[in-house]
Structure 1
Amino acid sequence: MRHCSVQVRGLLTRDELDRYNALMEVGSYLESQERYDLAYTIQKEVDILILPAIERLKDKGRARDLATAEYLESLRKAEQDEDDDE
C-alpha cells in the first residue's frame, strides 16, 4: 500500500484520517495475505479519499504564492518610492 505524503495527511479531517488509517490497515492485511487484487481496490479508495486534502494543499500553495507576490510588489513599490524621493 502506498501512503500519501505527510503534508497531505496533515490536511485530512479527523473523519478522513480515521478512514485513511482503517483502509491502510485493511490494505496491509490483504497484502500480507497476498490478496493483491483486493489491496488494489483498497488503494483506489485511499486515492479517492485523499483528493480533498490534496486540493487543500494546492490552495495553501496558491495562497502562499499570492502572499509572496504581494510582498515582492510592496518591496518594489517601496524601492521605487525611494528612487522618486531622490
Structure 2
Amino acid sequence: MRHASVQVRGLMTKDEMDRYNGLMEVGGYLEEQNRHDLAHHVQTEIDILILPAIDRLKEKGRERDRENLRYMIDNGLLDEDDE
C-alpha cells in the first residue's frame, strides 16, 4: 500500500484519518495474503479519500505564495506592477 505524505496526513480530518488508517490496515492484510487484486481496490479508495487533504495542502501553498508576494511588495522588494 502507498502511504499518503506526512503533509497530506497532517491536513486530514479525524474522520478521514480514521478511515485512512482502517483502509491501510485492510490493504496491508490483503497484500500479506497475496490478494493484490483486492488490495488495488483499497488503494483506489485511499487515493480518493486523500483528495480533500491534497486540496487543502495546495491552498496552504497558494496562501503562502500570496503572503510572500504581499511581504515583498510591502518591503519594496517588488513593485506591484512586477506581479
State TM-score, norm by structure 2.
0.91
Match of 2:59 in 1: 59
Match of 1:75 in 2: 75
| Amino acid of the structure 2 residue aligned with 1:44 | T
Alpha-carbon separation, structure 1, partners of 2:12 and 2:75: 36
Alpha-carbon separation, structure 2, partners of 1:43 and 1:55: 19
Which has the larger helix fraction?
Answer: 1
Higher Cα Rg, which structure:
1
What secondary structure sits across from 1:76 in the alignment? coil
- The CA deviation string for residues 5-27 of structure 1, in whole angstroms up to 9 with x for no partner, is 00000000000000000000000
Match of 2:13 in 1: 13
Alpha-carbon separation, structure 1, partners of 2:76 and 2:47: 42
What secondary structure sits across from 2:4 in the alignment? coil
> In the alignment, is residue 29 of structure 1 matched against residue 29 of structure 2?
yes
- Aligned pairs, number: 79
Alpha-carbon separation, structure 2, partners of 1:35 and 1:55: 31
Shift, 1:30, TM fit: 0.1
| Amino acid of the structure 1 residue aligned with 2:68 | T
Please, which runs of 5 or more residues in structure 2 have no aligned partner?
A: none
> Which consecutive segments of 4 or more residues in structure 1 shift more than 3 A?
none
